[in-house]
Amino acid sequence: MSAAIRLDDLTLGYDGHPAVHHVSGSFAAGSLTAVVGPNGSGKSTLMKGITGTLKPLGGHILRNGAIAYLPQGAEIDKSFPATVSELVSLGLWPRRGAFGGLGAADRRQVSAALDAVGLDGFAHRPLDTLSGGQFQRALFARLLLMDAPIVLLDEPFAAVDEKTVHDLVALIARWHGEGRTVIAVLHDLGLVRRHFPQTLLLAREAIAWGSTPVALRPETLQRARAMPEAWDESAPWHDDTAAHGHAEANL
């Protein structure tokens, strides 16, 4: 199967300190993958790398198609006087651009997207009247409108109730059924086991990457938890000749 996204010896980080360290592998086109790992294991960093907002410190990322991305705790100003439908219709931006007006067909799409996430009747509600779950539904409606072949979700279910998770997981399953590549950063391993065929277990490096039952075994999880959250100010700079713990271990 062809790769939607391929990571080639990818290192991402901040100020020269790696948060994602020498990761190689690929997300197959049409695959549904959960990215799990302890806090600080580089999951969000990997998402930012894939979307291109963070430049790699080393290695390459190959993207095969447009990406719709839901960042963790999206920095949306809810006090800004916008309505739900105005927020959701931003999803048409890649197709309509800054100056293209929205036609009747577009408005129908927006309202269909709102229906699909269970927000019918909310179109004209101001954002600051939404609950956390409703807001997350609106963001999913926006992703829906983007109609991208690759969908990245960074902790989409943080602080969201069970019913909402249930509905949004159904939406993810629908995307998977439509042949889109979906990658979601998650913490709920039960949810991952039930709904996500593939898993990348990340602890700065890829501890395991493959089918979920194989990736989430007790011993792999144990190794992930053992990841040192070290940010060593005096760590030697990595170059290809220097001694470098895990690079040797991989040999």
Residues that bind another protein (CB under 8 A): 51, 53, 67, 69, 71, 74-77, 80-82, 86-87, 90, 93-94, 97-99, 126, 142, 146
154: nearest Cα among 54, 45, 55, 81: 45
CB nearer to another protein: pick between 3 and 76: 76
Measure Cα distances from 43 to 40, 137, 190, 194, 200 in Å. 8, 22, 18, 20, 10
List of E strands, the chain: 3-14, 17-28, 32-36, 58-63, 67-70, 150-154, 181-185, 198-203, 205-211
Contact between 248 and 30 under an 8 Å Cβ cutoff? The reply is no
CB nearer to another protein: pick between 75 and 219: 75
Which two tokens mark 208? 């395991």
Which two tokens mark 144? 């829906």
CB nearer to another protein: pick between 74 and 214: 74
State the nearest-atom distance from the C-beta of 80 to another protein, in Å: 5
CB nearer to another protein: pick between 153 and 206: 153
State the nearest-atom distance from the C-beta of 52 to another protein, in Å: 8
Q: From the CB of residue 110, how many other CB atoms can be counted at a distance below 10 Å?
A: 23
State the nearest-atom distance from the C-beta of 115 to another protein, in Å: 19
State the nearest-atom distance from the C-beta of 191 to another protein, in Å: 25
CB nearer to another protein: pick between 125 and 244: 125
State the nearest-atom distance from the C-beta of 77 to another protein, in Å: 7
**DSSP string for 57-78:** SEEEEEE-S-EEEE-TT----T
Which two tokens mark 5? 């996204």
